[in-house]
Chains A and B, each alone.
Chain A
Amino acid sequence: MTEVLFLADFSVIKPDPGLIFWTALVFILVWGILGTMAFKPIQKALKKREDDIQGSLDEARKAREEMSNLKAENEALIKEAQEERAKILKEAKEAKDAIVNEAKTKAKEEAQKIVASAKTEIEQQRLAAMTDLKNQVGLLAIEVAEKVLRKELKGDANQEKFVNTLVDEIKLN
């Protein structure tokens, strides 16, 4: 009897048209509603998000590359600027030296010129003074000589003697 009951009551293997109808209806409804309301938009949203993430990663990598490029450029610029500065400094130093040297040479030359002209002047002055002195001494001598002569040459003997002396003196000179 148990066996018979088993077969008879095992109703789950006997497909009920009502249950078939309702299952099909509910499944189609769930499929349609979830498909349009949830699964398709979610699929789109997930795809968009994944694309966004990939895009962001790519962008970040690009930005990083650009940054490193920029850095290299900056370094090159700085190096160039430093070189430029060094060059300018060197040139300035050279110019300064040149100017100083020139100035020194010029000053020396000027000084030498001044010294030379001063020497010439001094020589001239000295010569003038000497001439003047000679003239004065000459005049004095003539005056003295005149006076002496006048006194000496009062007698003929004296005149003669004096003339002799004068002649001797001139010889000495």
Chain B
Amino acid sequence: MLILALVFGATFALAQDHDHGSHDGHDHDTHETHQPHNDDHAHADDHGHGGSCGDHHEDSGYDPVSTVMNHIADANEFHVWKGVHIPLPLFLYAPDHGWTTGLSSMFHHGHQAVDRYVINHGRVNRVADDSFPMGEVHIDGILHKVEEVNGKNKDVYYVCAKGELFKLDPPSTVDGGFLGGGITSFYDFSITKNVFTLFLAAILLIFVWNAVARGYKKNEGKAPSGIQSFFEVFFVFIRDEVTKPMIGEKHYERFQPFIMTLFFFIMFINLLGLVPFFPGSANVTGNLAVTLVLAVFTFLVTNLNGKKDYWEHIFWMPGIPGWVKIILTPVEILSLFIKPFSLMIRLFANISAGHIIILSLIGLTFLFGDNGQNVGGAAGGALIGGLFTAFMNLIELLVALLQAFIFAILSASYIGAAVEEHHHDEAHAH
């Protein structure tokens, strides 16, 4: 209840915040919009202190796309407002160097490299060059270039130190290079903004459900009260509308904890993501890594509990001619993977899209304001953007609950199909 109230409050606070923020001209987003971040992280670069680094001057106009993309991305520090960052713990692993730990504040917001690691747009990068010294090194700035790699244009970042440029590696990703990432010289196991939000959601969930479970002990044989009666509605709803009809009377009890965990884990993270200030605002379920893990759990729970009938229907569908089976079996095998894949994409796309739309609407202020040149335009943009943002936040609130529900009910239906036992006649009716 508290979180719902918080989100409602935050929705309007956000709208108001941006109405006022635009007049002051220095709120959180204004700061972020100076595209290359260099005026915050790398003054030296932008203002031409660093010799060779100064040659690569960048346009400093408002780039809405990169601003939005930077906001929905994961980060190694929690940006609160201009110049105020909450540092987060770092656990970095480079195969050729071993583990490096610390706090993200050790990078001095991009002015210092530590053991070849630097912070770039809120994310830890590593200097791949062995000639770069270890330990703490002052850096003059971070430079952005577009280079052609294997026939594709790619963003490449360089760190500028001691008058020289060193290429930066982003953290490794496991997309196999298909999505523009790949394995680089280090892995980032840090408590990032997203991981922090995961922990926060986990702690909130455990706190809330512990209170609810205590209520059942305290009020045994009595009517439920307080927080217990509020969350009982959800529990009974998931049981009666999701697990019972989808999985069936016989098996639903075994899967109720899993479906409940999915629903509440996703819902709490989604709602935290809608809170526009610390400790919320992280785009966690809008990150493919998170939805991938959740979908994999559903895949594992479904298929590890698959009964004989389920596998029979996949590999050798009974009651149809042989030549149809040859076509149907590959389709069924594909569907094994397409189902969790669709879960992964649906949640990711919905939440990411929501964050992108809200950030774009707020970005209208700066776009109409011509990057601080046109106060009237900024006011107009803030008004329109603020109103639309308030409206979008209400929709996102619905989406946050709905997507958690959809993920839970679809997972339940996949599990239901796996544990269902067909009667013999029914099997032949196919």
Contacts and interface: CB of A to CB of B under 8 A. Distances in A.
A27 B297 contact: yes
A5 interface: yes
Nearest to A48: B220
Contacts of B83: none
A64 to B, nearest CB: 23
Interface in B140-196: 146, 153-155, 170-175, 179-181, 187-192, 194-195
Looking at chain B's contact residues, is the secondary structure mostly helix, strand, loop, or mixed?
Answer: helix
A88 to B, nearest CB: 54
Please give me the 10 A-B residue pairs with the lowest Cβ-Cβ distance, nearest first.
A8-B155, A14-B181, A35-B257, A38-B209, A9-B69, A14-B173, A15-B289, A19-B289, A39-B257, A45-B216
Interface in A27-51: 27, 29-31, 33-35, 37-43, 45-46, 49
A4 interface: yes
Given A6-B65, A13-B175, A30-B205, A38 B213 contact: yes
Contacts of A1: 146
A37 B217 CA distance: 12
Contacts of B292: 15, 20
Contacts of B72: 12
Interface residues of A, number: 42
A31 B179 CA distance: 31
Contacts of A42: 212-213, 216, 232, 235
Interface stretch (B9-17, B109-117, B258-266, B365-373): B258-266
A2 B63 contact: yes
Contacts of A23: 195, 198, 289-290, 293-294
A16 B74 contact: yes
Nearest to A43: B256
Contact of A8 (B154, B188, B287): B154
Interface of A: 1-2, 4-24, 26-27, 29-31, 33-35, 37-43, 45-46, 49, 52
Nearest to B75: A11
Interface in B236-268: 236, 239, 253, 256-258, 260-261, 264-265
B87 interface: no
B345 to A, nearest CB: 10
B310 to A, nearest CB: 23
Contacts of A37: 206, 209-210, 213
Contact of B348 (A12, A16, A52): A12
B67 to A, nearest CB: 10
A19 B65 contact: no
Contact of B294 (A14, A27, A43): A27
A27 B298 CA distance: 12
Given A20-B293, A27-B293, A9 B261 contact: no
Contacts of B171: 16, 18
Contact of A12 (B202, B210, B253, B288): B288
Contact of A14 (B180, B191, B202): B180
A38 B258 CA distance: 12
A9, A11, A49: most-surrounded residue (chain B CB, <10 A)? A11
B187 to A, nearest CB: 6
A16 B188 contact: yes
A15 B176 CA distance: 10
Contact of A17 (B170, B172, B261): B172
Contacts of A34: 205-206, 209, 257, 260-261, 264
Interface string B200-220: 011001100110110011001
Contacts of B199: 26
B226 interface: no
A27 B266 CA distance: 10
13 contacts: A8-B180, A11-B73, A13-B348, A19-B287, A22-B195, A23-B195, A23-B289, A27-B293, A30-B202, A35-B257, A39-B260, A40-B257, A42-B213
Given A12-B352, A33-B206, A46-B232, A4 B155 contact: yes
B229 interface: no
B175 A15 contact: yes
Contacts of A22: 189, 191, 194-195, 198
Given A12-B352, A37-B210, A45-B216, A6 B256 contact: no
Contacts of B294: 23, 27
Interface string B260-295: 110011000000000000000001001111101110
A2 to B, nearest CB: 5
B293 A24 contact: yes
B66 interface: yes
Contacts of A15: 173-175, 287-289, 292
Nearest to B208: A38
B321 interface: no
A46 to B, nearest CB: 7
Interface string B6-31: 00000000000000000000000000
Interface string B58-72: 000001011001101
A19 B172 CA distance: 11
B148 to A, nearest CB: 10
